Structure formats: C-alpha cells, structure tokens
Amino acid sequence: MKISVVVPIYNEKDNVAILHKKIKDVMVKNSYDYEIIFVDDGSSDGTFEVMQQLAKGDKNLKIIRFRRNFGQTAAMAAGFDYAKGDVIVSLDGDLQNDPEDIPALLQKIEEGYDVVSGWRKNRQDEKKRVAFSKVANWLIGRITKVDLHDYGCSLKAYRSDVAKNLHMYGELHRFIPVLANIYGASITEIPVRHHPRQFGQSKYNLSRTFRVIVDLILMYFMQKFVTRPIHFFGIIGFFLFALGFGIDSYLAVEKIFFGMNIGNRPLLLMGVLLILTGINLGGIGIISEFLTRIYYESQNKKIYNIKTMINFDDKT
Ligand code: UDP
Ligand code: MG
C-alpha cells in the first residue's frame, strides 16, 4: 500500500523543514512506501526556496508550486490530482496536526473505511474560534447527517479514488466528509492531537463564518437534490403558487359576487407575490434540470458510483 502525504502550504517558512522531518520520521519508522507532496500555494515569504532545498535531499518529497495564491482547497485538490498512492493523507503545513497520528488513520483505512477523519478533541486555537466551530460542527452534522465531531480537521486519510473524485470548489475543503458522503464513501473519525501554532499566522478569521453558512446550504442541496432539482424548486414553487392562487381567487369572488373593493387590501399584494414567486421557482427548477443534464452528460459523469462488479469480464 503506497501512501501519499499531501500538504497545502502558504507562507509557512519556519514550519516546512520541521514538518518534513516529522513526516519522514513517521514514514520511515513504519516502513511505509510513500511520497510527500508539498503544494506551495503562492507563498511570498521564501517558503518555496526552503522547500526546494529540502527536495534536493529527499527524492520522496515532491513539490507543486502555484503561480499565485489559489487557496487551501485548490492546493489540496492539486495534491490529490498528482498523488500516486493508494491512500492519500492530508494535513496542514503549520505543525498544528501531528504526523504521529498518521499510522492510526491508516489502521482504520485497513479496517475497510474509505475516509478517516481526524477529530481535534483537544483543539488548540483561539477560544472564540473553538466555540464557533463547535456550533458549526453541530449544525453541519444536523443538516448533512454525516455524523462527525470535527469536519474541519485537515488531518485525514482517504482511499485514492475517493480523494480524486471529491470535486472541490471554492472553500469546500471544510466539507470533505460531506463530499465524500455524496460520493458514497464510508467515513469514520478518530481523535488526533492538535498543537498551537508556533510559527507564522493563521490565514483565516471569523469572516468565514458566513461563507461556511452558505456553503452548508449548498452542501445540503448537493447532497439531496443535485440529480433532481425540480423536486426542490418545483415543490416549493407549486405550494407558493397554489397559496397565491387561492388567496387571489378568494378576493376575486369577493369583488365579483359581493362587489367589495379589493384594491386596497394587502392580501391582494401577497397573493400576487406568491403567484409570481411560485412561477419563478418552478422555472428555476426546470432550468436546473437542464443544467443537471448538461453537467452529467457533457462530462460523461454517472449519477452513481460503483464499488465492485463481479463477473463482468473486463472489470472485477
Ligand atoms: N493554506 C493554503 N492556502 C491558503 C491558506 C492556507 O495553502 O490560502 C494552508 C496553510 O499554509 C496551512 C493550512 O492551509 O497549511 C491551514 O491554514 P491555517 O493554519 O492558516 O488555518 P487554521 O488552522 O487557522 O484554520
Ligand atoms: Mg492552522
């Protein structure tokens, strides 16, 4: 079993050498067949030069350097794309994750899981952040039904085909367990160590809270409705339209049969609004159905993922 260790790195000059040594020690100690992939996400503090030196002395260290800062998600995706291992391990480049935990993750992969996620049980970040993250994790669990304590921990192990098929965009690295769940992967979690950041600075602040919230809405939609958007938009649209139609019909009866004045009734406006919104949502649903077909058929993507096939001659 070959292991690829993927690390996204952005301005971590003082961390990379120590991290490289730590990963290497663990790999050698456990006699793994391995490669380490450092992805330099457009660092501007000399991180790349340090990594270049490290790579001179270690054939197993591979480096991908981005032209500019594309973000942690992109850096991880690049590492996954170029990884050659059967199992891919990801971790942060700031020494907050501990490479010593890798064997325990791999143990779980050997037990048969497709994704093993680290749980920073004793998280060493700002109190405020840890508290926010607790709420976020609870909410993500409730909404996506993927049952983990900690979605955001970068220290994870994946079977290669899962990692390579996550289709991450934006900042969706935080939702890898959900993406893996959409793919059909079996997921588990183990407690891992977590250290305070010693060198360099965190690249994120609380402004990401809002991004996490909208990403969560996206994940909910992708998980449930990506191949049948009309069920989402169509049903809501239908009910709004029906409600609006009912309200306005009632007003029409009052006007026509009882000669009442309805021009100044707020209810009229409400009915019109509901009818229009309903029609719009229905239309969006139909457009989304076409987009879904374009998305899948233009890339020959399937709406299913197969784990095993037996007696199909060329595939086993
Ligand atoms: N990172 C990256 N590109 C970015 C931001 C961060 O590759 O645009 C890397 C960073 O170098 C680190 C990891 O992603 O290895 C996690 O970042 P950070 O430690 O700043 O996040 P935090 O632990 O504070 O959530
Ligand atoms: Mg960090």
pLDDT digits (tens, 9 = 90+) for 296-306: 999 999 999 99
Nearest Cα residue to atom 2 of ligand 1:
72
Q: Which long-range contacts (CB under 8 A, 24 or more apart) does 168-171 make?
A: 168/73, 168/76, 168/77, 169/73, 170/71, 170/73, 170/211, 170/215, 171/71, 171/72, 171/73, 171/208, 171/211, 171/215
Distance between CA 99 and CA 95 in Å, rounded?
A: 9
Eight-state DSSP code of residue 312: B
Q: For 198-206, what is the mean pLDDT?
A: 88
- Which protein residues touch ligand 1 with a CB less than 6 Å away? 8-10, 12, 41, 69, 71-72, 75, 92-94, 96, 202-204
pLDDT digits (tens, 9 = 90+) for 109-128: 999 999 999 999 999 999 99
Decide which of 205 and 94 is more confident: 94
Q: For 292-315, what is the mean pLDDT?
A: 90
User: Residue 269 pLDDT more than 80?
Assistant: yes
Work out whether strand 87-90 and strand 33-40 pair parallel, antiparallel, or are unpaired. unpaired
Q: For 249-266, what is the mean pLDDT?
A: 96
Work out whether strand 2-9 and strand 61-65 pair parallel, antiparallel, or are unpaired. unpaired
Looking at the chain, the whole-number percentage of residues with pLDDT higher than 90 is 95
Regarding pTM above 0.85, the answer is yes
Q: For 70-74, what is the mean pLDDT?
A: 98
- Longest distance between any two alpha carbons in the chain, whole Å: 92
Q: For 145-160, what is the mean pLDDT?
A: 96
**Cα-based distances in Å from 175 to 96, 172, 187:** 19, 5, 13
DSSP E strand stretches across the chain? 2-9, 33-40, 61-65, 87-90, 115-120, 156-159, 187-192
In the structure, what pLDDT confidence band is assigned to residue 209 with cuts at 50, 70 and 90? confident
Task: Name the fold adopted by 2-224+299-310.
Answer: Spore Coat Polysaccharide Biosynthesis Protein SpsA; Chain A (3.90.550)
**Cα-based distances in Å from 169 to 166, 225, 253:** 9, 18, 52
In the structure, what pLDDT confidence band is assigned to residue 315 with cuts at 50, 70 and 90? low
Mean confidence (pLDDT) of the chain: 96
User: Residue 141 pLDDT more than 60?
Assistant: yes
Rounded to 5°, the CA angle 67-70-74 comes to: 115
User: Residue 76 pLDDT more than 90?
Assistant: yes
Mutation probe of ligand 1 site: the residue of 51, 92, 204, 208 with most atoms within 8 A of C-beta: 92
Distance 92 CA to ligand 2 centre (A): 6
Position 205 scores a pLDDT of 78
In the structure, what pLDDT confidence band is assigned to residue 147 with cuts at 50, 70 and 90? very high
Neighbours of ion ligand 2 (CB under 5 A): 92, 94, 96
In the structure, what pLDDT confidence band is assigned to residue 207 with cuts at 50, 70 and 90? confident
Distance between CA 94 and CA 68 in Å, rounded?
A: 19
